[in-house]
Amino acid sequence: ILNVEQSPQSLHVQEGDSTNFTCSFPSSNFYALHWYRWETAKSPEALFVMTLNGDEKKKGRISATLNTKEGYSYLYIKGSQPEDSATYLCAPPGEAAGNKLTFGGGTRVLVKP
């Protein structure tokens, strides 16, 4: 069973501020990392699938970087807006080359107007 850790567990951000948080995962036998955004009462929404060391992905004001050698990924939110309030989950596959995901506990972001 993979050990996937996300920190911090929760984050309060003032509207307009930028923020970032971390996902740590085992660096051995890495294949991919998935990021999801999960708003309350909705379905988890896929943000990124990252595969290569040094990869950087961007979607609007949200971006993510990947370091497979040291086993971490950062997710950044630039100029946070109230609609960014959600739980952000990262998940590498739990076994080689498959997509059975092992989720971290998530970082809960609350953006205050």
Partner 1 sequence: ETGVTQSPTHLIKTRGQQVTLRCSSQSGHNTVSWYQQALGQGPQFIFQYYREEENGRGNFPPRFSGLQFPNYSSERNVNALELDDSALYLCASSLGVVSTDTQYFGPGTRLTVL
Binding site for partner 1 (CB under 8 A): 1, 4, 6, 31-32, 34, 36, 41-46, 49, 51, 89, 91, 93-106
- Closer CB to partner 1, residue 17 or residue 69? 69
Q: How far is the CB of 66 from partner 1 (least distance, A)?
A: 13
Q: How far is the CB of 25 from partner 1 (least distance, A)?
A: 12
Phi, psi of 83 (to 5 degrees): -70, -10
Tell me the CB-side half-sphere exposure of residue 85, using CA atoms within 13 A. 12
| Six token digits for residue 20 | 């970032």
Rounded Cα distance, 107 and 87, in Å: 5
Q: How far is the CB of 36 from partner 1 (least distance, A)?
A: 8
- Closer CB to partner 1, residue 8 or residue 16? 8
- Closer CB to partner 1, residue 89 or residue 111? 89
Is the separation of the CB atoms in 76 and 64 below 8 Å?
yes
| Six token digits for residue 32 | 């991919």
